[in-house]
Amino acid sequence: MGTRDVILDAAARVIAERGLANVTTRQIAQTAGFTEAALYKHFTNKADLLVAVMRERSPGFTLLARALNGRAGTGTLLDNLTGVARAAITFYGEGFPMLASIFADPATLAAHKEELRQQGAGPHKANEAVAAYLRTEQDLGRLRSEVDTTAAAGLLLGACFQHAFLSHMASPSGSDDGEAAASFARTLLQQLAR
């Protein structure tokens, strides 16, 4: 495992334990067993490191990308959208502790937004990916032609985001992620499918 990977692992662990706003690059470097100079050889700043942690150390991000990749026209729409919803719930659920830390500090939030802008990344990318998947299904004739795929993607991901948020605040009784994902997909498809 290379230096960059060790730093990413240490950053993910320290941020999860202390929250981003309470962590310095020095603490991350120490946890990784390196100097801050070594950290800055791989990452421009704390925001750059955070973006890399979220992208590369969040299993939920990988699951969300995998849930969409090559799915259009295969399987059932219900199974595909349920997979997307499950992955989104996992992604948002894992991300809340780190995101809460970002929003707690205006300077960190500004730096994070700028880093995302420079990398062409950001939370809107999930919506764009789901909307693109839905447009492909629409082009294949599996969704009604008049469906607003951008709105449909927002509705699905918004429901997943809300579910993940509520799970952090107070676990809804009798509701688990799998049941919620299937319910969101089923409800959305009642309006989208032919």
Q: Are 169 and 101 in contact (CB under 8 A)?
A: no
For 139-165, write each residue's pLDDT tens digit.
999 999 999 999 999 999 999 999 998
Same domain membership, residue 15 and residue 41: yes
| Rounded Cα gap, residues 190 and 27, in angstroms | 50
| Rounded Cα gap, residues 138 and 153, in angstroms | 13
Measured CA distances, 96 to 32, 139, 155 (Å): 23, 34, 19
What is the band of 57 on the pLDDT scale with cuts at 50, 70, 90? confident
> What residue spans of 70-147 are helical by DSSP H?
77-104, 106-119, 124-139
Same domain membership, residue 142 and residue 63: yes
What is the band of 100 on the pLDDT scale with cuts at 50, 70, 90? confident
How high does pLDDT run on average in the chain? 85
| Rounded Cα gap, residues 134 and 110, in angstroms | 32
- 50 located within any domain: no
Q: What is the CATH number of the domain that holds 27?
A: 1.10.10.60
- 150 located within any domain: yes
Residue type at 2 in one-letter notation: G
For 109-135, write each residue's pLDDT tens digit.
787 788 778 877 777 888 998 999 999
- 140 located within any domain: yes
Tally the domains of the chain.
2
Same domain membership, residue 64 and residue 36: no
- 92 located within any domain: yes
pTM: predicted TM-score of the whole model, two decimal places: 0.76
Residue with tokens 């809804």: 172
pLDDT at 182: 95
Q: What is the mean pLDDT of residues 76-94?
A: 90
Q: What is the CATH number of the domain that holds 109?
A: 1.10.357.10
> Is residue 102's pLDDT more than 80?
no
Domain ranges, residue 39? 1-45
More confident residue, 56 or 158: 158
Same domain membership, residue 154 and residue 108: yes
Same domain membership, residue 10 and residue 88: no
Q: What is the mean pLDDT of residues 50-77?
A: 77
Please choose, from the candidates 50, 64, 18, the residue with its C-alpha nearest in 3D space to the C-alpha of residue 156.
Answer: 64
